[in-house]
Chain A
Amino acid sequence: MNTLQRSSLSTARSCRRFATSASTSASKASTEDTSTKKRERESLDPALNTHKFLAGNPHPVSNLRPVKYPVPTNESAEDRSLREQRERVDAFNQNFWVNNNNMFNKAKAEYEDKIRAQNGGVAATTEELSVFYKDFLDKAYERQMNYNRQWWIENIGLLWPSAKSVVRKWTSK
């Protein structure tokens, strides 16, 4: 490893360390807030549990769960690339659904306000809402098609590397 890579790595590492400590303190602060609620909600600290497979509660907008894949001490390059591929797919899904659901909620709220203004304060009926649902679905068609195609490709594309990783784990034991 030459000097350039070494120096950039150390910068990256120190930046990462800073970010980790910043977000740890942030998560600590937030966990302190939640502990004041009646029921104490436990949460493992991901920075301390890198060897474990962690899953969090669903995101309020996208409804997807955040996942932290386990990082073993002797992680091989292929395992690392598989993990990063999985993380990329998760980020891809998260981005799409946050966008989609935000758009849906916003559009629905606007539509309901419009209807209420027209009706003079009466909430939208199921018939009127059906018009909105159809409109949203039709407008989202191409966006959804692109996402579907990409998701199918990514999902199936993860199978073979995962299989190889499992075989590697079996043969190394």
Chain B
Amino acid sequence: MLSRSHLIRVAPARIQHRWFTSSCTNPHRLARIQPRTSLVTLGYSAKSSTPLNGSRIMFTRASSSIPPTSTSLSDNDKDSDPSTTPTTSTTPAGFQGYDIRWKEVKSPTISDYISIYLDLSKARLGALVTLTTMAGYAMTPMGASLPTLFALTTGTALCITSANAYNQFVEPPYDAQMSRTRNRILVRKAVSPLHAWSFATLTGLGGTALLAAAVNPLTAALGAANLVLYAAVYTPMKRVSIANTWVGAVVGAIPPMMGWAACTNSLDPEAWLLGLLLYAWQFPHFNSLAWNLRADYSKAGYRMMAVTDPKLNARVSLRYSLALIPLVTLAPYLDMTSWWFAVDGNIVNGVMLAGAANFWRKRDDKTARQLFFGSLIYLPVILALMMFHKKGKQDIVQEVGSLEQVSESGSAAQFKEEEDDDEYEYVDEDEEDEEEAHVAVKTA
């Protein structure tokens, strides 16, 4: 009798009722020993044993050593013979019916970690984005300070690394579905998700801190905002609405603005121009890429224009390719470059526009591919042209000097600029501020 009551008190609630009716014969005893004591915890939370919204499976109680009584609602669960718990059966739940070749996933060595971190950070893409940041810095009229440039590059690279790593942390099951991404680190289980998340957090914090300490707070704020925008807004939005492309374009536009702000600590019209240039460029770039992936996107549940509205997809890329023309023409107007940039910049624009128009007219894989590769070449070419035609401090001062027609102050200023250029490595923040004031006074 004692053993029976002990028995009943320990067994879990769901099975308990059956045990009662089958084993207990005395109804009075039944009523008296109705247990209200706490149940043995079976090592899993109640939350996770409830059926999940949208899924048609109810989890087998993998943790319990007592046979589960939960009924499954899905066909895939018929393999879970109540007494084979996934903890010791050879095949994980749902993976029956095909020839599994098991391989050991060994702990990575140091050299493995290098390639892992490069993959997590999407190194090639990150390098291109860092280049746009450096281009933004290079376009500033002030002399470059190498320490600032180095800090800017490293800080931005760390922020981009963090953003990409967060993105990969969130997306393994989706990445597994698409051929472009199925060899990523977390899809291959080469490192644990915790490791990827920690890497992302550390690089994000480090990058922002470096920018705040060694560059300026504005750049750090932009970097942090970009990171949040990419990881927490763009990444989930990819599965919710086609507006994600516009958010993603903003993510691409911010780095050159960071580069500019690193030097001037303000977002001047020139910075906005650079940002708008990158923003407009994103559309032909991304829309053409998405076109060739639309089958994968549809299957994996990504909401992209290429799937939901192919005509809009091509139209938007054409629209923004057209927008590149006034933007390129605006650069010399803002005194960033000489007017030659408007000439050869627009020639390059014309080529891009032709590709976008082709894609808009034909909308097939070949034109999409051509536009995509064209956009990949376009960006470094236009940035290189911009830097080539950049108006240096000397040019601005010369113009001003000739306008004022005070040759002495003009030549004195020229002499001063040359002197400063020789010693640009040693320019510190205070001197730069003085120079800013100098130039501001002269151009006023």
Contact = CB atoms under 8 A, between A and B. Distances in A.
B91 A66 contact: yes
Contacts of A150: 52-55
Contacts of A143: 54
B307 interface: yes
Nearest to B239: A148
Grouping DSSP codes into helix (H, G, I), strand (E, B) and loop, the A interface class, with mixed when no group exceeds half, is helix
Interface stretch (B218-226, B262-270, B296-304, B346-354): B296-304
Given A90-B92, A92-B55, A44 B104 contact: yes
Interface string B84-101: 111111111111001111
A121 interface: no
B7 interface: yes
B29 interface: no
Contact of B104 (A34, A54, A129): A54
A145 B104 contact: no
Given A55-B189, A126-B364, A137-B301, A8 B63 contact: no
B27 interface: no
Interface in B1-40: 3, 6-7, 10-11
A3 B54 contact: no
Nearest to B190: A55
Nearest to A147: B54
B418 interface: no
Given A54-B104, A88-B48, A77 B301 contact: no
Contacts of B94: 62, 91, 94-95, 98
Interface in A1-55: 2-5, 8-9, 11-12, 15-16, 19-20, 23-24, 27, 30-31, 33-34, 41-47, 49, 52-55
B92 A67 contact: yes
Given A34-B99, A54-B103, A97 B177 contact: yes
Contacts of B83: 11-12, 15-16, 19
Grouping DSSP codes into helix (H, G, I), strand (E, B) and loop, the B interface class, with mixed when no group exceeds half, is loop
B66 interface: yes
Contact of A155 (B43, B62, B170, B299): B170
Given A16-B83, A137-B298, A147-B55, A42 B101 contact: yes
A66 B100 contact: yes
A47 B90 contact: yes
Nearest to B107: A53
A45 B100 CA distance: 10
Interface stretch (B191-199, B383-391, B394-402, B419-427): B191-199
Interface in A66-94: 66-68, 71, 77, 80-81, 83-85, 87-88, 90-94
Q: Which 10 A-B pairs have the closest CB atoms?
A: A146-B54, A15-B83, A94-B94, A133-B298, A144-B301, A91-B93, A56-B100, A19-B84, A162-B194, A66-B95
Interface of B: 3, 6-7, 10-11, 43-44, 48, 52-57, 59, 62-63, 65-67, 74, 76, 81, 83-95, 98-106, 169-170, 173, 176-177, 182, 187-189, 192-194, 197, 236, 239-240, 294-295, 297-299, 301, 303, 307-310, 363-365
Given A58-B176, A98-B76, A148-B301, 13 more contacts: A8-B66, A15-B81, A19-B81, A42-B101, A49-B102, A60-B98, A84-B62, A84-B87, A87-B87, A91-B59, A101-B177, A126-B365, A159-B194
Interface of A: 2-5, 8-9, 11-12, 15-16, 19-20, 23-24, 27, 30-31, 33-34, 41-47, 49, 52-60, 62-68, 71, 77, 80-81, 83-85, 87-88, 90-101, 104, 126-127, 129-130, 133-134, 136-138, 140, 142-152, 155, 158-159, 162-163, 166
